[in-house]
Amino acid sequence: MADPFGFLKHARVENPTRPVSERITDWEELQTPLPEEERQEQAARCMNCGIPFCHTGSFYGGQRTVSGCPNDNLIPEWNDLVYQGRTQAAFERLARTNPLPEMTGRVCPAPCEKGCTEALNGSGVTIHDNERFIIDTAFENDWVKTSGMPQEATGFKVAIVGSGPAGLSAAWRLNQLGHQVTVYERSDRFGGLLMYGIPNMKLDKDVVQRRIDLMADIGVRFVGNTEIGRDISADELAAQYDRVILSTGASVPRDLKVPGRSLTGVQFAVDYLTEATKDVLKHGKEATSKKLAGKHVVVIGGGDTGNDCIGTAVRQGAASVRQLEITPQPPLQRTASNPWPEYPLTARTGYGQEEAAEVFQSQVTYHSVSTTAFIGAERGQLIALETVAVDDRFQPIAGSKEVIKADLVLLAMGFLGPETTLLDAFGVNEVYDDYTTNNERVLVAGDAKRGPSLVIWAIREGRLAAEKVDQALRTLVYQ
Integer Cα distance of 374 and 18 in angstroms: 37
Residue 58 clears pLDDT 90, i.e. is over it: no
What is the pLDDT averaged over residues 379-407?
97
Query: What local confidence, expressed as pLDDT, does residue 56 receive?
Result: 83
User: How many H-runs (helices) and E-runs (strands) does the chain carry?
Assistant: 19, 17
Q: pLDDT tens digits for 432-454?
A: 999 999 999 999 999 999 999 99
Nearest to 468 by CA among 145, 60, 179: 179
Query: What local confidence, expressed as pLDDT, does residue 477 receive?
Result: 73
Residue 3 clears pLDDT 90, i.e. is over it: no
Helix, strand, coil percent values for the chain (each to nearest 5): 35, 15, 45
Phi, psi of 150 (to 5 degrees): -70, 150
Within the chain, all domains assigned CATH 1.10.1060.10 are found at 5-146
Within the chain, all domains assigned CATH 3.50.50.60 are found at 149-252+416-478, 255-413
Integer Cα distance of 10 and 44 in angstroms: 8
What is the pLDDT averaged over residues 4-33?
95
Instruction: Count CA within 13 A, CB hemisphere, residue 351.
Output: 24
- Per DSSP, which regions of 348-455 are E strands? 365-366, 369-376, 382-389, 402-405, 408-411, 415-417, 442-444
Radius of gyration of the chain (CA): 23
CATH for 5-146, among 3.40.309.10, 1.10.1060.10, 2.60.40.10, 3.40.640.10? 1.10.1060.10
Work out whether strand 320-324 and strand 365-366 pair parallel, antiparallel, or are unpaired.
Answer: parallel
Nearest to 163 by CA among 226, 75, 232, 254: 226
pTM of the full structure: 0.95
Query: What local confidence, expressed as pLDDT, does residue 49 receive?
Result: 86
DSSP state letters, 64-128: TEEES-TT---HHHHHHHHHTT-HHHHHHHHTTT-S-HHHHHHH---HHHHH-GGGGTS----HH
Query: What local confidence, expressed as pLDDT, does residue 373 receive?
Result: 98
Integer Cα distance of 207 and 212 in angstroms: 9
Statement: 149-252+416-478 belongs to CATH 3.90.550.10: no
**Is the N-terminal amide bond of 341 cis, ω within 30° of 0?**
yes
Integer Cα distance of 217 and 240 in angstroms: 23
**Which amino acid is residue 171, in one-letter code?**
A
Residue 2 clears pLDDT 80, i.e. is over it: no
Query: What local confidence, expressed as pLDDT, does residue 478 receive?
Result: 67
Query: What local confidence, expressed as pLDDT, does residue 396 receive?
Result: 97
Average pLDDT, the chain: 95
Q: Is 31 helix (H, G, I), strand (E, B) or coil?
A: strand
Q: pLDDT tens digits for 66-107?
A: 789 989 899 999 999 999 999 999 999 999 999 999 999 999
Residue 265 clears pLDDT 70, i.e. is over it: yes
Nearest to 48 by CA among 10, 75, 20: 75
Residue 63 clears pLDDT 90, i.e. is over it: no
Integer Cα distance of 310 and 326 in angstroms: 17
What contacts 409, CB < 8 A, 6 or more positions away?
265, 266, 267, 297, 298, 299, 300, 371, 374, 382, 385
Phi, psi of 347 (to 5 degrees): -65, 135
What is the pLDDT averaged over residues 357-380?
97
Nearest to 256 by CA among 118, 374, 343, 383: 374
Integer Cα distance of 226 and 223 in angstroms: 7
Query: What local confidence, expressed as pLDDT, does residue 341 receive?
Result: 87
| CATH fold for the domain made of 255-413 | FAD/NAD(P)-binding domain (3.50.50)
Work out whether strand 442-444 and strand 243-246 pair parallel, antiparallel, or are unpaired.
Answer: parallel
Query: What local confidence, expressed as pLDDT, does residue 436 receive?
Result: 98
Distances (CA, A) of 193 to 135, 208, 453: 20, 10, 12
Residue 281 clears pLDDT 80, i.e. is over it: yes
What is the pLDDT averaged over residues 182-191?
98
Work out whether strand 415-417 and strand 296-300 pair parallel, antiparallel, or are unpaired.
Answer: unpaired
Integer Cα distance of 131 and 135 in angstroms: 6
Count the residues in the chain: 479
Query: What local confidence, expressed as pLDDT, does residue 346 receive?
Result: 93
